[in-house]
Amino acid sequence: MNTHYYFSWFNHFFPEKLVQCLHEDIKDRKSLVLISANPFIDQDEQVNVDDTSEWTWLNQAKIVFDEYHFIDYRMQKEDAQQFIQHASVIFLCGGYPVLQKEFLIDYELSDVIKNSNAVILGASAGSLNMAAQWLSLNDTGNEVETTTIYDGIGIDQFAYESHSQRDYATFVQGYLFLLSEEIDVYAAEQESTIRVKDGKIEILGPVYLISHSKIQKLVETL
């Protein structure tokens, strides 16, 4: 049984419905591995797991683990791969999606994550990189944005969009339409979740499906 969660972002804590689902799905709580989306942090700077929003959300939900491991460039590649292989839960953190993607490639973590039996969680940038594809908008400063499509890990075969400053009004402007001609795009507002459990997609909060340039708001099913 494979279970994956795509979180947009939560400003405070997980909603109660989500907490119930996570308690139901996360039975093995031996080891939580968090993968940074700011992996180039100063080598001398101390980063504590409990300083991260992702840890705080889980802790507030009373989902605690025996071991916690935070992976960035300060950890050796082989150690990072081993911690992921033995993880109960893998959490791809929010931050800078391109930097996280480059780190996953550099440390050869994508296949290790994809082949894991752990519950896999992603927040914002982490959710983008879990998906098959995602799109980056780059403001050129001339009121024109260029787009770059990136390949993610491909844990599930859809594209994902998550951004705190974008909502339905921006999605309908069509910047995701070209991508949606090739693959279904799930576009998420703040405070939302997509759970994929044994291939079944379930929704909590404001999420839209964009397919072949048509957009529809999905009904909550969690």
What are the start-end ranges of the E strands in 96-168?
A: 119-123, 131-139, 145-151, 156-162
**What are the CA-CA distances from residue 92 to residues 11, 96, 120 (Å)?**
17, 11, 8
Q: Is the distance from CB of 52 to CB of 59 less than 8 angstroms?
A: no
Where does 9-109 have alpha helices with state H?
16-25, 53-60, 77-85, 97-106
Q: In DSSP terms, which residues pair with 128 in a beta bridge?
A: none
pLDDT in tens, 64-84: 999 999 999 989 999 999 999
To the nearest whole number, what is the mean pLDDT of the chain? Answer: 89
Paired tokens of 142 = 């001339």
φ, ψ of residue 130 to 5 degrees: the values are -70, -35
| Residue appearing with tokens 């591995």 | 33
Structure tokens at 83: 């911690």
User: How many Å apart are CA 167 and CA 173, to the nearest integer?
Assistant: 10
CA distance 107 to 58: 26
Residue type, position 14, single letter? F
d(CA 210, CA 122): 20
- The residue range of the domain holding 139 is 3-218
For residue 96 the two structure tokens come to 């800078």
Q: How far is CA 89 from CA 25, 39, 86, in A?
A: 10, 19, 9
What does each of the 222 residues of the chain score in pLDDT, given as a tens digit?
A: 689 999 999 988 999 999 999 999 999 999 999 999 998 865 555 566 666 788 889 999 999 999 999 999 989 999 999 999 999 999 999 999 999 999 999 999 999 999 999 999 999 999 999 999 998 876 545 554 567 899 999 999 999 998 766 777 888 888 889 999 999 999 999 999 999 999 999 999 999 999 999 999 999 998
How many domains are there within the chain? 1
Rounded CA separation 134/97 (Å) = 10
Question: Residue 90 belongs to a domain with what CATH number?
Answer: 3.40.50.880
DSSP-based three-state secondary structure for 129: helix
